[in-house]
Every structure is written in C-alpha cells, then in structure tokens.
C-alpha cells in the first residue's frame, strides 16, 4: 500500500472512531419490508423511536428495536455515561440486501417455480443532538 492510500485509510479510520453504530446482519426479512420501518424512525430521537418501534405492528420493528438498544448501549460504553432523554438521535439507518436463498417449489406438469427467500443487513448510526449544533 502506498503512502497516500495509507494516510487516507488512517483518516477514514479516525473519523469512524468518533461515530457510534450497531450492525445486524442476515435478518430473514425482505429489505423492502425492513425499509418501511427504517424510514419510520430515521432522524428521530432514540427514546421516541423506541416507543414507535415497541408499539408498531410490523415484525421488522422487533429487529430494529433490538438493534437500536444495542447502538444506545455502544454509545454509553464509548462515552462512559448514561444516555439521557433528548440527547441522542438516529443519525442514519441503512438497509442493504444480503444473500438470498434460492429454492424451488413444485408446480403442475413437472415444472418448478422459483422462490427467493430474501434477507438484509441493517446499519444504524447514533449521534448526540448537541454535537451537531456546536459544529453549525
């Protein structure tokens, strides 16, 4: 690796150390269904988002709620203090496609229909509200 690439990589690593995030991989739900829940909580304060997710009818909300609790815990570990009401918000939440399982279902006259069992990866970044107002 060249010097310029190494320096750029180190800058990216340093910038990522400041961020607090949590990842959930290979969730057995389609990305389209998961994005409906992700759009519901994007940019919302974390404790309000926990309430939205807890009382949501969608099955995907259970996975996102678990991930959000993990991200809050990661932030508390990194900063050494408890998260207070109104301090944290969901900065970004992304839902990406994961590898899909391809299966065959028997069909009439000796044919087979394809079934694609989709799954997804979720990445959730949490940040403090006060930090953004100081920078602006």
Residue 1 binned pLDDT confidence (cut-offs 50, 70, 90): confident
Alpha-carbon span 130 to 41, nearest angstrom: 19
pLDDT in tens, 91-110: 999 999 999 999 999 999 99
pLDDT of residue 131: 64
pLDDT tens for each residue of 115-133: 999 999 999 999 998 765 5
Rounded to an integer, what distance in angstroms lies between the CA atom of residue 93 and that of residue 90?
7
Reported as a single tens digit per residue, the pLDDT across 69-81 is 999 999 999 988 8
pLDDT for 10 equals: 93
Report phi then psi at 65, rounded to 5.
-65, -45
Those residues with Cβ within 8 angstroms of residue 94's Cβ, 6 or more apart along the chain or in another chain: 38, 122, 123
pTM of the prediction?
A: 0.84
pLDDT reported for residue 136: 45
> How far is it, in rounded angstroms, from Cα 121 to Cα 62?
14
- Residue 67 phi, psi dihedral angles, 5° rounding: -65, -40
Say which CATH class 21-135 falls into. Answer: alpha beta
What are the structural domain ranges in the chain? Answer: 21-135
Instruction: Give the pLDDT of residue 106.
Output: 96
Contacts of 5 (CB under 8 A, 6+ apart): none
């Amino acid at each position: 690796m060249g010097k310029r690439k190494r320096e750029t990589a180190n800058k990216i690593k340093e910038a990522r150390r400041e961020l607090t995030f949590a990842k959930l991989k290979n969730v057995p739900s389609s990305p389209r269904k998961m994005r409906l829940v992700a759009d519901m909580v994007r940019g919302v304060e974390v404790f309000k988002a926990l309430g939205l997710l807890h009382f949501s009818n969608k099955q995907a909300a259970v996975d996102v709620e678990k991930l959000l609790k993990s991200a809050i815990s990661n932030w508390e570990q990194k900063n050494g203090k408890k998260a207070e009401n109104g301090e944290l918000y969901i900065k970004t939440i992304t839902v990406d496609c994961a590898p899909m399982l391809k299966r065959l279902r028997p069909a009439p006259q000796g044919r087979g229909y394809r079934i694609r069992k989709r799954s997804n990866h979720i990445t959730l970044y949490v940040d403090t509200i006060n930090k953004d107002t100081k920078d602006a």
